[in-house]
Structure formats: C-alpha cells, structure tokens
Amino acid sequence: MKIELKHIKISDLFEGYVDSEEEGVKGYGGLLDIRPKYQREFIYKDEQRAAVIDTVLKGFPLNIMYWVKNTDTETGKITYEVLDGQQRTLSICQYLNGDFAFDFRYFHSLQPDEKEKIQNYELTVYQCEGTESEKLQWFKTINIAGEKLTDQELRNAVYAGPWLTLVKRDFSKRGGRALKLGDGYVDTSHADRQALLEKVLAWISKGSIEHYMSVHQNDNNTLELWGYYSEVIEWTKTVFPTKRKEMRGLPWGEYFNNYKDFGLSLDPKLSEKRISILMADEDVTSKKGIYHYLLSENERYLSIRSFSNRDKRTAYEKQKGTCPSCGKHFDIEEMEADHITPWSKGGKTIAENCQMLCRECNRRKSSV
C-alpha cells in the first residue's frame, strides 16, 4: 500500500473544472473525479459551504482530503477519485466558478490579491494506491468523519471501471431501469447510496461482493448482473403474482437462489388463498415472513404470537406445575408454553389452547 501526502493548490484543483449532471464533476485538469457518474448528490448547506470559503480566505487549514489513485492498465494513464472531501472540493470549485457568493461577493468581484490568495491556497491531500484489498481496508479505516461512505460506496471507489459506471447507471440512478423493474418488490429508498446495488451484488455473488466486482471490473457490459436481476424479479412476479406492500424490500434474490424450482412448482392461485388467510391470522405477527414460510414451510418465519404471561401462569396452576408429557414437577421458570392443538392444525394462541411443558419435552416435541 502506497500513501503519498500532497499539497494541491486551489488553482490546480480548479483547472478543467466541469460539472455535468450525467457525466459527473471533474477537476485537476480533467484527471480528478470529484463526483463520479451516478454517485449520490449530498449537498452542503449554505452555512457549511460558506465556512469552507471563510477558512480558505483566512488561510486556516482545512481537514485532510483523500484521493484514490487509479492507473489504466492499457494506457498507463493516471487518474484520481475523491474518496473523502467531496463537499469541500465542490464548495471551492463552485465558488471559483461563480455559482454562489460569500459575504455578498462573488469570486470574480474580488481584488486581484484576494483572488491570488485563494488560488495559491494549498489543500492537504493523501493520495493512495495499492491492491484492491489494501485500499478497501484503508478506506474503511479512515471513514470516520463527515458524511460517512457506505460499504458499497467504499467498494465502488476500489473497483472503479467501465463495468461499475454502467452498473451504477442502472442500479443507482434515480429513475434507473432497475428501480422501475423492481418497483414494489425492492427497497429503492436508498438507491443513491448504493443500497440496491449492494443487495443485488450480494444475491448474485452469494455474499462475495468484492470478488465479484474484481472479476467484472473491466467488463464493458452488465449483461450477467442485469440478466440475473431481471430473472429474480420475473420469478417473483410468477410465483406471487399479487403485489402487496409486505413484499417490498424482501430478499427476493436469496429466495430465488434457494427455492427457484420449488417456487415454480407452487400453484399461484392456491398460494394466494394461503397468503390471504395468513394475512388475516392475528397469530401471525410477521406478515412479511409469509412469503419465506410458503417457500420453506418453516413456521419460524411467521413469528407466531406467543402466549401471554397470564396465560402461562393460568396453565401452570391448572397443571399444578406438572409437565403433562413426562409427569415431573417443575418451577414455572423451568417450563415453556406450548400449543395443545398445533397452530399448523388450526390451534389458536389462546388460554384454552395453552399447556406448559418442561424445556426438554418441549424441545423434543418441536423436533418431531
């Protein structure tokens, strides 16, 4: 891992400054990605922006900034990407560009000596380069202040390349096609912070996100990832054709990976009837868990309502502390509530259907 401390003049930082909505923001002679394509657009408040300019005018030091150094394997061209310090950098460039005034004065209206003072101000920048794993570990270490980056934003800084640019266009841009296709099925509230992209990458890689991104870093298309995501959404629509609010944000990729063939064997009409019944069942406390339950037939995903302490005490006193299964006496703290008629066979979580079993007997019954 190589980390270099550099002092960059503001005049050099501002050279070649371009702000394009789709192409991102560049500076430093076009070599620095200040805000890469489709990255979230967190914007400083006016007072924060003013504080940056005030600091520069007074000659006080700004906090250290961090740049990622990237080398094109084919051309050898070196470029940089702002990892930390994006909003300070944008504030400086926007002020020099005349986008806002400080203390009622625009940059172009300053006296020559004032302009020169700003242009000659030196920013303290750490530039880093190294292996992907080294950079990722370092980025996580320094990600301790300001507007913290998410884990996926940190990965994006490490695995920048043509493939990631295309992927972010689909999965991170507001109004992108991934959000449209998955509307009602995936959580799109934090797509601009790479949450949707991270989730889909976790699904397709089965948790090995860094490895997957490394393998595809220099690809010129996203056919594999997009094809997988499309198949997940279409499978979900086929297996559970009635869209409900409870479906939003569920790990559909994980369900697809684990239950693809079984899900397609289900009768959608029969499943719909079961879903309606379970949605109306007051004993089912996890309505979102209904879908995982139908695919796995595991009741734990439903979070069946527990018996109240009052029901437990009533059953315990009625049994006189004796476990009806093994016939031994126990303190109430050594026993667990159980449905006499199992919930799966229509038994309700009511006092009349409650019995107290010792822990060993209850475990034995549950494993049958």
Q: How far apart are CA 110 and CA 131, in angstroms?
A: 45
- Any idea what the CATH number is for the domain that residue 325 is in? 1.10.30.50
- The residue-averaged pLDDT of 94-120 equals 94
Decide: residue 202, CB within 10 A, 0-12 exposed, 13-18 middle, 19+ buried. middle
End position of a domain, from candidates 158, 177, 210:
158
Cα distances (angstroms) measured from residue 51 to each of 44, 100, 315? 10, 13, 67
Rounded-to-10 torsion of CA 165, 171, 174, 175: 110
**By C-alpha distance, which of 297, 224, 235, 242 is closest to 261?**
235
What the block records as the tokens of 7 is: 């002092």
Asked whether residue 284 is domain-assigned, the answer is no
Asked whether residue 317 is domain-assigned, the answer is yes
| pTM of the complete model | 0.66
Q: Where are the beta strands (DSSP E) in the chain?
A: 2-9, 18-20, 24-27, 32-35, 65-71, 78-84, 122-129, 335-339, 354-358
Q: How far apart are CA 71 and CA 186, in angstroms?
A: 35
What the block records as the tokens of 49 is: 């922006």
pLDDT at 368: 58
H/E stretch holding 56: helix 46-58
pLDDT at 150: 83
Decide: residue 188, CB within 10 A, 0-12 exposed, 13-18 middle, 19+ buried. buried
Number of domain units in the chain: 2
Q: What is the mean pLDDT of the chain?
A: 89
Pairing of strands 24-27, 354-358: unpaired
Query: Are 254 and 199 in contact, with CB atoms under 8 Å apart?
Result: no
pLDDT at 293: 96
| Domain containing residue 137 | 2-158
Q: How confident is the model at residue 99 (pLDDT cuts 50, 70, 90)?
A: very high
Query: If you search the block for the tokens 């050099």, which residue do you land on?
Result: 12
Asked whether residue 8 is domain-assigned, the answer is yes
What the block records as the tokens of 248 is: 């939003």
Q: How far apart are CA 215 and CA 89, in angstroms?
A: 32
**By C-alpha distance, which of 59, 60, 63, 47 is closest to 103?**
47
End position of a domain, from candidates 158, 188, 206:
158
Query: Are 180 and 226 in contact, with CB atoms under 8 Å apart?
Result: no
pLDDT at 5: 92
pLDDT at 147: 61
Asked whether residue 164 is domain-assigned, the answer is no
What the block records as the tokens of 239 is: 């297996």
Q: How far apart are CA 128 and CA 70, in angstroms?
A: 9
Asked whether residue 174 is domain-assigned, the answer is no
Q: For 284-324, what is each residue's pLDDT tens digit?
A: 999 999 999 999 989 889 988 889 999 999 999 999 999 99
End position of a domain, from candidates 142, 158, 174:
158
- The dihedrals phi and psi of 305, each to the nearest 5 degrees, come to -55, 135
Query: If you search the block for the tokens 């300001």, which residue do you land on?
Result: 146
Of residues 94 and 40, more confidently modeled: 94
- The residue-averaged pLDDT of 16-33 equals 87
What the block records as the tokens of 269 is: 């009409």
Asked whether residue 142 is domain-assigned, the answer is yes
Asked whether residue 245 is domain-assigned, the answer is no
